[in-house]
Amino acid sequence: MRPGDDLAALLAAAAPEDLCDGDVLCVAHKVVSKAEGSVRRLDDIEAGERALRLAAEQGKEPRLVQAVLDETAILLRADRGVLICETRHGYVCANAGVDASNAGAPGELVLLPADPDRSARELRGGIAAALGVRPGVLITDSFGRAWRLGQTDVALGAAGLVGIDDRRGQADARGRKLRATMVAVADAVAGAADLARSKDSDEPAVLVRGLERFVTAEDGPGAGAMRRPPADDLFRAPEGSGPP
Amino acid sequence: MRPGDDLAALLAAAAPEDLCDGDVLCVAHKVVSKAEGSVRRLDDIEAGERALRLAAEQGKEPRLVQAVLDETAILLRADRGVLICETRHGYVCANAGVDASNAGAPGELVLLPADPDRSARELRGGIAAALGVRPGVLITDSFGRAWRLGQTDVALGAAGLVGIDDRRGQADARGRKLRATMVAVADAVAGAADLARSKDSDEPAVLVRGLERFVTAEDGPGAGAMRRPPADDLFRAPEGSGPP
């Protein structure tokens, strides 16, 4: 995958003949970023003062740290070699999503797509143009979690799939009103899709079927709407900034 | 479901005839807690001083808050009507997992199982005794996440399913060594299973197939091993306790 490659056309060509509107195509962000040119080379990066200092403190490559800072709006934690960042999109993840694994060549870094929801809409539109069907499209990445070990895939971008199934105010099986239930459907789908491949299997897209009830004709608000607003987030504050 | 009911026998009776060792049975913790008697009635609870104060501050029912505190090792946040707790098992979640939705009767609260990994092992053993096959078993609950809206189901207990697929030190598709990759398999499976039902569908168990490569003969370390150790957790500290 190279910048400018037509990912939608490649996905359409690889899709099964019976691809349909109720399907969901989960696409790893890495292949999207490569096609969109959201990649950098370590050799092209000069580490500034803050990157040099952080790299020394955390035992990391200074130019990688500079690339991370360039994608970061707020650095939430820098500890034990880990940088937890709020990206310029508002996602909270390690290294602001900057990653060398499964990159194209040694020294290449893959960034998050500039606007993952736009990427999802464009892929959906491109597939519809090629095949005449409009499956839901997710752009996914593997995110770590506070409190639990390991990563699960989440939806960075979405078009045509319900992100959150908001059941607040609806009834449970006993008729009792649900007060907090908001099912993060798109994240569960992203996580399920990742079970169908391996980190070394070079499979950038997974087709998920049977979720017609969550697929919408409209592209919808996207996965950006799944970000918890910072003002409502009890764990967003940079270290040491909480009330005494 | 009543305390003392034989959940393993009920699951075995409901299982398809071709249930096999490579299958994974995902069981909602709520039905496990009911069978094990991990339930309380609001009427049996007297709110103490701390519960009364917290309830007043957060606009909550004092006896519910007392039940939450009784399950809590460390209260991490109390803000905007939300209590984020580290449970006595070490799980971090809202209300220490104490929940009135889909409970048996008005005024009944369902707690987390006392030892979800033990519950998973017992169910697996009971199903094996009844049917002669040993599918993997997960005990699941819906947990909110820092930074992202909505809940996804995670594994509270596990027997016979790999919790974390630790790929650190292994190669990506380009032969480059993976440095941080630990796939939270059991959580992805739990999330996937929840997509197959609805919050009002009264379906306590979901069968997941096709994951034979993660199912093990041994029960294994369980989902307790998926808890991030507090010492390695950058977001565990109670509010205001971080370094200045």
pLDDT at B244 over 50: no
Q: Do A189 and B211 touch (CB under 8 A)?
A: no
The C-alpha atoms of residue A176 and residue A169 are separated, in whole angstroms, by: 9
Angle at B8 between CA B4 and CA B9, to 5 degrees: 90
Mean pLDDT of A93-113: 89
Q: What is the pLDDT of residue A240?
A: 55
Q: Return the exposure string of B83-99: e unless at least 16 CB atoms fall within 10 Å of the residue's CB, then b.
A: bbbbbebebbbbbbbbb
Mean pLDDT of B80-104: 91
Q: Do A192 and B188 touch (CB under 8 A)?
A: yes
What's the number of CA atoms in the CB half-sphere (13 Å) around residue B46? Answer: 1
> Could you count the other beta carbons within 10 Å of the beta carbon of residue B213?
12
Q: Report how far apart, in Å, the C-alpha atoms of A119 and of each of A8, A140, A156, A173, A224 are.
A: 10, 11, 10, 38, 12
Amino acid at A135: P
Chain A nearest-CA distance from B165, in A, is 8
**A47, A25, A30: which is closest to A186 by C-alpha?**
A25
Can you give the pTM of this predicted structure? 0.95
Chain B nearest-CA distance from A33, in A, is 17
Looking at domain B39-111, which CATH architecture does it have?
A: Alpha-Beta Complex (3.90)
- Chain B residues lying within 8 Å of A200, measured CB to CB: 170-173
- Chain B residues lying within 8 Å of A239, measured CB to CB: 234, 242-243
- List the single range of A29-33, A37-41, A230-234, B141-145 with lowest mean pLDDT: A230-234
Classified by CATH at the fold level, domain A1-32+114-227 comes out as: 60s Ribosomal Protein L30; Chain: A; (3.30.1330)
pLDDT at A243 over 70: no
Mean pLDDT of B172-196: 91
DSSP label of B104:
S
pLDDT at A196 over 90: yes
- Chain B residues lying within 8 Å of A183, measured CB to CB: 142, 150-152, 194, 199
pLDDT tens-digit profile of B32-49? 999 999 999 999 999 999
Mean pLDDT of A195-202: 85
Contacts of B229 (CB under 8 A, 6+ apart): none
pLDDT at A197 over 80: yes
- Chain A residues lying within 8 Å of B236, measured CB to CB: 146-147
- What A10-18 contacts at long range (C-beta under 8 Å, 24+ apart), as own/partner pairs, is A11/A123, A11/A126, A11/A127, A11/A205, A12/A126, A12/A127, A12/A130, A12/A131, A13/A130, A14/A205, A15/A127, A15/A131, A15/A207, A16/A207
Q: What is the pLDDT of residue A105?
A: 80
pLDDT at A163 over 90: yes
The C-alpha atoms of residue B66 and residue B63 are separated, in whole angstroms, by: 5
Selecting from 3.40.220.10, 3.90.1660.10, 3.30.2010.10, 3.40.50.10490, what CATH number does the domain A39-112 have? 3.90.1660.10
Q: What is the pLDDT of residue A101?
A: 77
The C-alpha atoms of residue B30 and residue B40 are separated, in whole angstroms, by: 13
- In chain A, which residue ranges form alpha helices assigned H by DSSP? 7-14, 29-36, 49-58, 62-70, 116-131, 185-194
Chain B residue at shortest CA distance from A164: B150
Element spanning B215, H or E: none
Chain A nearest-CA distance from B16, in A, is 20
Selecting from 3.30.413.10, 3.90.800.10, 3.30.1330.100, 3.90.79.10, what CATH number does the domain B1-33+113-228 have? 3.30.1330.100
Q: Do B242 and A242 touch (CB under 8 A)?
A: yes
Q: Report how far apart, in Å, the C-alpha atoms of A102 and of each of A33, A45, A128, A197 are.
A: 12, 20, 28, 14
Helix, strand, or coil (residue B102)? coil
DSSP label of A171:
B
Helix, strand, or coil (residue A14)? helix
**A71, A76, A131: which is closest to A97 by C-alpha?**
A71
pLDDT tens-digit profile of A40-78? 999 999 999 999 999 999 999 999 999 999 999 999 999
Q: Do B239 and A242 touch (CB under 8 A)?
A: yes
A188's tokens: 């569960």
The C-alpha atoms of residue B23 and residue B137 are separated, in whole angstroms, by: 9
Q: What is the pLDDT of residue B177?
A: 86
pLDDT tens-digit profile of A17-34? 999 999 999 999 999 999
Q: What is the mean pLDDT of chain B?
A: 93
Ordered by start, the domain boundaries in chain B are 1-33+113-228, 39-111
Q: Residue A207's beta-bridge partner residues?
A: A25
Chain B nearest-CA distance from A180, in A, is 9
